[in-house]
């Protein structure tokens, strides 16, 4: 009987008054707007647009806010964003949505639909929210705005340019200089007697999705590389990602070998892998295949996608390194599912967090999305890679094409192994290197400017990686120089199309579109004001390897990203602690400076002081201190 009573209590309490939550004096309850603006813009109503941004249309509209009631206001659409500001009340409600985050625009209701606010637009976003607007049900009032939105949100589908090419923003720093491959390889201690830099791909002839500069075994000739490329999917041959300075073990990345149904072999590929193994005397080279083990696939119900995909791979000639052919190598499957599984998982997550958070069985529903489970598998895969490398064995990592799961695993393992990548600058280098230059297909996975929202190529692989990084920052709060805000800003601009950083699928495409010349880098924005992205708790430690615990009970949902649109989630983060810490640090600096001053003025008599006219008294006081301080 009692238990029944517990259950019954749920719905009632769920509707408990909202008032107390908003009246918290500690929370920033004043910000009623559902859109926390990470782009730092003046209200567009009194327009402060980006350089290069142009206004296209203004319209009276009703925003059907899922958290408050419907709000009357005005929407402006520019070639960069959708901006809404309410006109009906004192409390500001604003929306500031870069058009790049829009994945889909649909008409809602028809001219004859009944009910209030049933006629309008529904906008699906890539960043875990949907927006609904209602218009007057007369005179095709939505036609113009729909067409404009559709055109500007998906410029590539309409023969137009992405906003990044129109932007005229200027920054002090030039983010395109952040990553210089040669410099980065030199930092790692390359080239050396075991590894050489090759320019064989300088015209993207060997592999069109790889960067121009590659690091390969010293003993492998250019001819060897060409032969190996014929046996690797998309010619993505095994190349060096990271070199362990002490034990000389390496992380190599590549795509799957083209063994096909018949189990083809390729002597050149086998020899090439053996060269990698020999370079530091590894006894058995470990090959991490990120995919689920073939035998295990059929057993997993929710992995429904994998089985046909796997068959398809074999049918199209893909596969994995067999025991017979690669005798000095050990193959380990990491059981990470493919892009389609991840897309579905995130979709389920969105279903339980937006617009309303599934409250009654929160933890169970969270579990049923499997999102955290996927995070766990990716992290534990990376841990295995990092562990193997720090024990002195070289590893090769691949999945199918070597640009999704492979990038996740190599970059996370590098983050664990190399503290440089945990700095603000180093993290940028890591992304530029492992993700951008090595051809993670950002354009296909995100669908920048493309109207085709149902494209099977879309998948939140990069988001998942950033989530893994966030999980690491949670487990090691002092190990990263950057803060959560950096991660959120990166994700915001992954979609926004304001910067060129994440555009296109590979380096060759970026080059032919002149991205470096014609667009601004996201790192220009970040590095022009780094103070916003610095973690005050950071304590540099150069030689430490971080092993996060990859278990469900240590992983958390990244609430401040996935549920950030919900106004109830916005306050009471850890920020007071950070605030307090920063205050203390500032206070300390202040006193140190003060002490220094006192000591300085001690040695040099007070007459040398420059008096600031605006605060004469203070200066006087200071001089008096100087006098009193002499015994000190």
Which residues from 449-508 bind other proteins, rule CB under 8 A? 475-479
Q: Which segment (110-118, 151-159, 504-512, 585-593) binds other proteins by CB under 8 A? A: 585-593
CB of 405 to other proteins, least distance (A): 16
Pairwise CA distance, residues 599 & 631, whole Å: 11
* 576: contact with other proteins by CB under 8 A: yes
Q: Are 526 and 534 in contact (CB under 8 A)?
A: no
Q: Which segment (198-206, 275-283, 504-512, 603-611) binds other proteins by CB under 8 A? A: 603-611
* 16: contact with other proteins by CB under 8 A: yes
Of 512, 514, 620, 630, the one binding other proteins (CB under 8 A) is 620
Of 563, 564, 565, 567, the one binding other proteins (CB under 8 A) is 563
Pairwise CA distance, residues 440 & 118, whole Å: 41
Q: Which two tokens stand for residue 154?
A: 């998906």
Contact positions with other proteins (CB under 8 A) in 201-230: none
Instruction: Collapse the DSSP code of 61 into the 3-class scheme (helix H, G, I; strand E, B; otherwise coil) and give the result.
Output: strand
Q: Which two tokens stand for residue 516?
A: 């470096």
Query: What are the residues whose beta carbons fall under 8 Å from the beta carbon of 454, sequence distance 6 or more?
Result: none
Q: Which C-beta is closer to other proteins: that of 403 or that of 480?
A: 480
* Neighbour order of strands in the sheet with 329-333: 239-243, 250-254, 395-398, 285-289, 329-333
Q: Which C-beta is closer to other proteins: that of 117 or that of 390?
A: 390
Note if the bond before 571 is cis, omega within 30 degrees.
no
* 143: contact with other proteins by CB under 8 A: no
Nearest alpha-carbon partner for 84 in 26, 136, 145: 145
* 583: contact with other proteins by CB under 8 A: yes
* 584: contact with other proteins by CB under 8 A: yes
Backbone region of residue 109 per phi and psi (left: phi > 0; alpha: psi in -120 to 50; beta: other values): left
Q: Which C-beta is closer to other proteins: that of 177 or that of 572?
A: 572
Contact positions with other proteins (CB under 8 A) in 520-539: 537, 539
* Alpha carbon distance, N-terminus to C-terminus of the chain: 76
Note if the bond before 111 is cis, omega within 30 degrees.
no
Q: Are 409 and 378 in contact (CB under 8 A)?
A: yes
Q: Which segment (129-137, 305-313, 339-347, 624-632) binds other proteins by CB under 8 A? A: 624-632
Set 399, 468, 497, 506: catalytic member: 399
Q: What are phi and psi of 319, to 5 degrees?
A: 155, -155
Please work out the total of residues on this chain that contact other proteins, with binding judged by CB under 8 A: 101
Q: Which C-beta is closer to other proteins: that of 10 or that of 89?
A: 10
Of 113, 551, 599, 630, the one binding other proteins (CB under 8 A) is 551
399 is a catalytic site residue = yes
Instruction: Collapse the DSSP code of 528 into the 3-class scheme (helix H, G, I; strand E, B; otherwise coil) and give the result.
Output: helix
Contact positions with other proteins (CB under 8 A) in 340-359: 357, 359
Q: Which segment (13-21, 35-43, 73-81, 273-281) binds other proteins by CB under 8 A? A: 13-21
CB of 589 to other proteins, least distance (A): 10
Query: What are the residues whose beta carbons fall under 8 Å from the beta carbon of 553, sequence distance 6 or more?
Result: none
Contact positions with other proteins (CB under 8 A) in 361-380: 361-364, 366-368, 372-373, 379-380
Residues marked as catalytic:
399
């Amino acid at each position: 009987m009692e238990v029944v009573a517990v259950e019954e209590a749920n719905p009632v309490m769920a509707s408990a008054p909202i008032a107390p939550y908003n009246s918290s004096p500690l929370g920033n309850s004043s910000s009623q707007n559902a859109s926390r603006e990470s782009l730092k813009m003046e209200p567009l109503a009194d327009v402060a647009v980006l350089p290069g941004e142009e206004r296209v249309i203004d319209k009276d509209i009703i925003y059907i806010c899922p958290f408050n009631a419907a709000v009357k206001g005005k929407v402006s659409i520019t070639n960069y964003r959708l901006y809404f500001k309410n006109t009906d009340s004192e409390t500001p409600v604003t929306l500031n949505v870069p058009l790049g985050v829009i994945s889909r625009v649909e008409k809602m209701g028809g001219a004859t639909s009944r009910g209030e606010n049933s006629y309008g637009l529904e906008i699906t976003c890539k960043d875990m929210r949907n927006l609904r607007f209602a218009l007057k049900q007369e005179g095709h009032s939505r036609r113009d705005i729909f067409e404009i939105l559709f055109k500007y949100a998906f410029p590539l589908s309409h023969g137009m340019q992405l906003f990044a090419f129109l932007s005229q923003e200027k920054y002090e720093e030039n983010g395109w200089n952040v990553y210089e491959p040669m410099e980065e390889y030199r930092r790692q201690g390359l080239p050396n007697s075991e590894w050489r830099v090759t320019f064989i791909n300088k015209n993207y002839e060997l592999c069109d999705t790889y960067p121009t500069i590659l690091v390969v075994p010293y003993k492998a000739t250019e001819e060897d590389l060409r032969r190996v490329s014929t046996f690797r999917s998309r010619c993505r041959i095994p190349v060096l990602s990271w070199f362990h300075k002490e034990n000389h073990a390496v992380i190599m990345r590549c795509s799957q070998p083209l063994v096909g149904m018949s189990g083809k072999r390729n002597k050149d590929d086998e020899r090439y892998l053996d060269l990698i193994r020999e370079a530091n005397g590894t006894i058995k080279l470990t090959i991490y295949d990120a995919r689920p083990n073939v035998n295990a696939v059929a057993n997993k119900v929710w992995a429904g996608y994998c089985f046909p995909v796997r068959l398809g791979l074999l049918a199209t000639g893909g596969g994995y390194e067999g025991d017979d052919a690669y005798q000095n190598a050990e193959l380990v499957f990491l059981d990470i599912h493919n892009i389609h599984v991840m897309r579905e998982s995130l979709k389920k997550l969105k279903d339980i967090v937006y617009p309303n958070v599934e409250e009654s069985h929160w933890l169970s529903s969270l579990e049923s999305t499997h999102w955290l489970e996927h995070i766990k598998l990716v992290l534990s895969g990376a841990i295995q890679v990092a562990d193997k490398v720090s024990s002195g064995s070289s590893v090769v990592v691949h999945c199918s094409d070597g640009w999704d799961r492979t990038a996740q695993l190599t970059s996370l393992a590098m983050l664990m192994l190399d503290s440089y990548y945990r700095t603000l600058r180093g993290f940028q280098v890591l992304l530029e290197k492992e993700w951008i230059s090595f051809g993670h297909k950002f354009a296909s996975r995100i669908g920048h400017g493309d109207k085709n929202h149902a494209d099977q190529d879309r998948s939140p692989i990069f988001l998942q990686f950033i989530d893994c990084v966030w999980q690491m920052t949670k487990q090691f709060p002092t190990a990263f120089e950057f803060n959560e805000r950096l991660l959120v800003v990166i994700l915001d601009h992954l979609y926004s199309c304001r910067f060129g950083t994440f555009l296109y699928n590979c380096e060759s495409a970026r080059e032919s579109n002149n991205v470096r010349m014609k667009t601004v880098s996201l790192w220009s924005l970040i590095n022009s004001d780094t103070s916003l992205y610095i973690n005050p708790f950071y304590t540099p430690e150069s030689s430490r390897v971080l092993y996060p615990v990859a278990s469900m009970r240590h992983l958390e949902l990244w609430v401040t990203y996935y549920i950030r649109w919900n106004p109830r989630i916005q306050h009471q983060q850890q920020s007071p602690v950070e605030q307090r810490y920063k205050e203390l640090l500032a206070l300390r600096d202040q006193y140190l400076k003060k002490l220094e001053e006192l000591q300085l003025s001690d040695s040099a008599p007070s007459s040398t002081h420059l008096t600031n006219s605006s605060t004469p008294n203070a200066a006087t006081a200071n001089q008096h201190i100087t006098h009193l301080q002499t015994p000190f």
